[in-house]
Amino acid sequence: MSDAEDRAQELLSYYDSCRGRGTTIALTADTTDTIRDLIADLTKARNVIEQVREVVAEMLEQLVSGPERRDVERIASILADAEGSGQ
């Protein structure tokens, strides 16, 4: 697991333990910082994914005019299916 995944799991475990005891969750400075870090990590990941999508779109656009058009359509279909299923 990455550091961000470890921190997220730690927060979820804390939340579950508080919920099980009927305890109110205290947002300490450390917890708040961890949440901010996780949001920053997710934002970076989303930006990288968007950049990859743009590069793939450019590559597909270049291939569309060539003899590989059928392959391009298949790749586009696979990407659309993956995006639709949340992968």
pLDDT one-digit tens code per residue, 53-71 = 898 888 877 777 666 677 7
**For the chain, what is the domain count?**
1
- 18-67 pLDDT, tens digit per residue, is 766 665 656 677 777 878 888 888 888 888 988 998 988 888 777 776 66
Give me the pLDDT at residue 86, please. 59
Q: From 37, 48, 27, 42, select the one nearest 7 (Cα to Cα).
A: 37
Give the residue numbers spanning the domain of 72: 3-84
Helix (H, G, I), strand (E, B) or coil at 37: helix
Is residue 78 predicted with pLDDT exceeding 80? yes
Other CB atoms within 10 Å distance of the CB of residue 57:
12
Give me the pLDDT at residue 25, please. 58
Name the pLDDT band for 77 (thresholds 50, 70, 90). confident
Give me the pLDDT at residue 51, please. 92
